[in-house]
Amino acid sequence: MKRKLSEVLAIICCMVLYAGCSVKEDRTACPCRILLDFSSVDTAAVTAVDMLVNASGGFVHKKCLHADEIDAIYTVSVPQGNVTVNVSTGADGMVYDDGALVIPYGSECPEVYMHCSGFEAMGELYRHEVLLRKDHCILTVYVKADGAFPFNLSVKGHVNGFTPYGKPSEGDFMCAAGAESDGGFRAVIPRQLDSTLKLEVNDGSEMLKVFALGEYLEASGYDWDAVDLENVTVSLDYSLTRLTVYVEGWDHEYAYDVVI
């Protein structure tokens, strides 16, 4: 009821604001009122989002919206023409660079959810639904070794963030996989463009082994273009160099004999 009332009020306000644009005038000079619909966002889980709206003529509207502001229709007046809307949450630690989000080298990807869309906003009103998608994959690695495993794991790739349009951006990425209390190693990686992702084993001073993780994921049918990325668990038999891939939500696994 609260959301419906907010929508009605937003539309009424728009009608009042645009009463000043006479039907005899060239309405392309009037701004377009964009109604950003956040009704699909779970405000119980999402407490705040960062929003960036770009429009014709260098128009920029940037704001952090809190849960009470996204539990309704949020309106932005923009010049008519091409518009891009970028909404993200969980991007802490990423760096804004000319509209792009960049993961600092050596850091894992934050658990980021994003919505990015471009459209042509013409007329007095334009309604746009915000749909956040999971743009990160939590990778967990369990190593089976003879005795203790005294080495470190790291992940390397060629995607280091997201463009202003929400696409994966090319750049060097590397992060250490942190040790977990259950004996596994955990790293968060961003949406990928190809299968070049690597899992490396090192002793702190030199690299000992490299596993073509991206190729094994591709062979398993993992979809980097999915709306919401699934998490992945890898079981690595270090002595026999056998790697098994488990994808969250799947009822099967894939095992590979690794040739190094």
Nearest to 66 by CA among 46, 85, 52: 46
Q: Count CB neighbours of 19 within 10 A.
A: 8
User: pLDDT tens, 40-88?
Assistant: 999 889 999 999 999 999 999 999 999 888 878 999 999 999 999 999 9
- Tokens 């250490």 belong to 176
Identify how many contiguous H helices and E strands the chain contains and give both numbers. 3, 20
Q: What is the DSSP letter of 13?
A: H
Q: 137 is written with which tokens?
A: 């994959």
User: pLDDT tens, 83-139?
Assistant: 999 999 999 999 988 878 999 999 999 999 999 999 999 999 999 999 999 999 999
pTM: 0.83
- Decide: 23 and 44 in contact? Cβ < 8 Å: no
Q: Which helix (H) or strand (E) holds 167?
A: none
Q: Residue 77 and residue 203: Cα distance in Å, rounded?
A: 56
User: pLDDT tens, 21-33?
Assistant: 555 555 567 999 9
Q: 206 is written with which tokens?
A: 């030199």
Q: Residue 63 and residue 107: Cα distance in Å, rounded?
A: 25
∠ CA(163), CA(167), CA(173), 5° rounding?
Answer: 75
φ, ψ at 219 (rounded to 5°): -65, -25
- What the chain holds in terms of domains, given with CATH numbers, is 2-133 (2.60.40), 136-257 (2.60.40)
- Dihedral (Cα; 162, 167, 172, 173), 10-degree rounding: 70
- Tokens 């089976």 belong to 144
